Amino acid sequence: MKSAAQAMNATQPAEPATLWRHARLATLAASTGWGLVERGALVTEGPLIAWAGAEAELPATLRERIAAEHDLGGALVTPGLVDAHTHLVYGGDRAAEFELRLQGASYEDIARAGGGIRSTVTATRSAGDDELFAAAAKRVRALMAEGVTTIEIKSGYGLDEVHEARCLAVERRIGSELPVDVRTTSLAAHALPPEYAGRSGDYIAHVAEHIVPEAARLRLADAVDAFCETIAFDLLQTRQVFEAAKRAGLPVKLHAEQLSNMHGAALAAEFDALSADHLEHVDEAGVMAMARAGTVAVMLPGAFYFLRDTRVPPIDLFRKHGVAMAVATDCNPGSSPTTHLPLMMNMACTLFRMTPAEALLGVTRHAARALGLAETHGTIELGKVADFCLWDVDHPAELAYAVAASPLRARFHGGRDHLA
């Protein structure tokens, strides 16, 4: 596979180079550790990184091409952050359910009573496209203000052919109108819509035979997801959705083992899933299957916290078997209403006992891999997109340590300054 730089150079001449010097780089170029480069610099050509390393080692041939130079004043530079799991296109809110949970109702109780996802489906279907876009854009801008340059957005609040396509189209619009890369995921198998009450098999057949193929035909989806859980869809139904995705040429991912062990992680691995997400109840067999498939484990501490869960994902098993871990906001109206990715890094450390380095890898290198973007995003390396952030901190561990005002100084997307 050609790198982004090779693909561009094959079709057009190199653009004037820009030098970003007097920096401390955290490249995240290795699968562990920070990749720290003191007295570092990077060179960008258009939207791509042309070089990164110690400033004293900048090649003379490259220096000759530099047309602009910026002194970063010793700022820490990291890759732009990647939020690999969100549901941020939706109508309404679920504040009333928050109160119910405080009074003792469980997530499952609310869902079985017709609340939860289905209540958001009603609000989303009633909202116009511009209304959905305006609300989602506000959430995206909040993420951008925390250093996010790439976002995954799932559908799943339309739950029919028309409204699922509407939500995915709004997601595409966000990527075209805001300075952020958006990867879209069809999550029609999120919950059972009211018109299919008692007929989950019929609904899954509709998803597999109509909704997924239509999303692929219209090029609205980059991947397909499902919610495999006792309150959602079983293994056989999830397999039907994955088979439909395979026929459509789309990769899969899965909400797996959040509330119980349905063995969804192993099923996801069978289909070479990009990621399996939540995973509080996954067993070692599921972790081993993920390791063999190269499936990323996406940690969602916001939902864990908001639902007052007590079952922690098996971080030591992921480490033992070499499963890459990402961290994401899971931004949604019911179980994780947050747009603060650095706070999720802190929660991944304090609640799940991940290390600060694992948390930063989880919102850069491993998050990009969870979206199928490992070749182009997530690290500061030759040929990657020039998405990077400047931080007013002394060490990258501070990004997960402090629950405070954002230390973000500037955010660059495709080599251009887009401070949100």
Question: Band of the pLDDT at 4, cuts 50, 70, 90?
Answer: very low
Least confident of 59-63, 200-204, 349-353: 59-63
Given a cut of 50, whether residue 348 has pLDDT beyond it is yes
Q: What is the pLDDT of residues 182-204, one digit of tens each?
A: 999 999 999 999 999 999 999 99
Question: Band of the pLDDT at 8, cuts 50, 70, 90?
Answer: very low
- In degrees, rounded to 5, the angle at the alpha carbon of residue 3 between the alpha carbons of residues 321 and 30 is 35
pLDDT at 14: 64
pLDDT at 97: 86
Long-range CB contacts (< 8 A, 24+ apart) of 284-290? 284/314, 284/317, 284/321, 286/256, 286/257, 286/261, 287/314, 287/317, 287/318, 287/320, 287/321, 287/323, 288/321, 289/265, 290/265, 290/266, 290/321, 290/323
pLDDT at 138: 98
Q: Which of 420, 415, 371, 412 is nearest to 43 (CA)?
A: 415
Given a cut of 80, whether residue 323 has pLDDT beyond it is yes
Q: What is the mean pLDDT of residues 313-342?
A: 97
Q: What is the mean pLDDT of residues 48-63?
A: 96
Given a cut of 70, whether residue 11 has pLDDT beyond it is no
Q: Locate the domains of the chain by residue range.
A: 4-79+379-417, 81-370
pLDDT at 346: 98
Q: What is the mean pLDDT of residues 332-345?
A: 96
Question: Band of the pLDDT at 419, cuts 50, 70, 90?
Answer: low
Given a cut of 50, whether residue 2 has pLDDT beyond it is no
Given a cut of 80, whether residue 12 has pLDDT beyond it is no
pLDDT at 401: 96
Q: Which of 243, 186, 189 is nearest to 217 (CA)?
A: 186
For 371-397, b where at least 16 C-beta lie within 10 A, e where not — what string?
bbbbebbbbbbebbbbbbbbbebeebb
Distance from C-alpha of 338 to C-alpha of 336, rounded to nearest angstrom: 6
Q: What is the mean pLDDT of residues 87-91?
A: 97
**Percent with pLDDT over 70 in the chain:** 96
Q: Position of tokens 């887009």?
A: 418
Return the half-sphere exposure (C-beta side, CA atoms, 13 A cut-off) of residue 289: 18
Question: Band of the pLDDT at 236, cuts 50, 70, 90?
Answer: very high
pLDDT at 386: 98
pLDDT at 166: 98
Alpha-carbon distances of 185 from 48, 85, 92, 371, rounded to whole Å = 26, 9, 21, 10
Task: Give the fold, CATH level 3, of 81-370.
Answer: TIM Barrel (3.20.20)
pLDDT at 118: 85
**Percent with pLDDT over 90 in the chain:** 87
Question: Band of the pLDDT at 115, cuts 50, 70, 90?
Answer: confident
Question: Band of the pLDDT at 388, cuts 50, 70, 90?
Answer: very high
DSSP code for 34: -
Q: What is the pLDDT of residues 202-225, one digit of tens each?
A: 999 999 999 999 999 999 999 999
Q: What is the mean pLDDT of residues 96-118?
A: 84
DSSP string of 109-134, one letter each residue: HHHHTT-THHHHHHHHHHS-HHHHHH
Distance from C-alpha of 142 to C-alpha of 420, rounded to nearest angstrom: 8
Task: Provide the edge-to-edge strand list for the sheet that holds 223-228.
Answer: 81-83, 148-154, 181-189, 223-228, 253-256, 275-278, 296-299, 325-327
What is the domain class of 4-79+379-417 according to CATH?
mainly beta
pLDDT at 99: 86
- More confidently predicted of 31 and 349: 349
Q: What is the mean pLDDT of residues 266-293?
A: 98
pLDDT at 16: 86
Alpha-carbon distances of 246 from 202, 231, 239, 271, rounded to whole Å = 20, 25, 10, 8
Bridge partners of 45, per DSSP, are 17, 48
Length of the chain: 420
